[in-house]
Amino acid sequence: VHTLQRMFGCELDDDVTTRGNDQYGYDGEDFISLDLKTGTWTAVKPQAMNIKQTWESKGSDKYWKNFLERDCVHLLQSYTSYSRETLNRK
């Protein structure tokens, strides 16, 4: 039995500063992650090199960078706004 884990998301501090992450683990160890500064996948394990090359050739690095820096932040802002409205109801 093998385990593949993925964790991705974005953070918004003070409605200005944003951060995002997208990382995979395999059998409990780091495997591959997206470096948002460079916009490239980082293969933590040598076995992840083929996946890195395939994903980058298909543009998934650009897709996920855009998603985490724009779409995810927009969704987070929307959900935060909805939460405030709900919490402020009397």
Q: Where are the domains of the chain?
A: 4-88
pLDDT of residue 88: 76
**Tokens representing residue 52 in the block:** 């890195």
* Residue among 39, 42, 64, 65 nearest 53 (CA): 42
Q: How far does the chain reach from its first CA to its final CA, in angstroms? A: 51
The class level of CATH for 4-88 reads: alpha beta
Q: What is the pLDDT along the chain (90 residues), one digit of tens a residue?
A: 999 999 999 998 876 778 899 999 999 999 999 999 999 999 999 999 999 999 999 999 999 999 999 999 999 989 888 888 777 776
- Alpha carbons within 13 angstroms on the beta-carbon side of residue 32 total 16
Q: Which pTM was predicted? A: 0.81
pLDDT of residue 20: 92
pLDDT of residue 85: 76
pLDDT of residue 90: 60
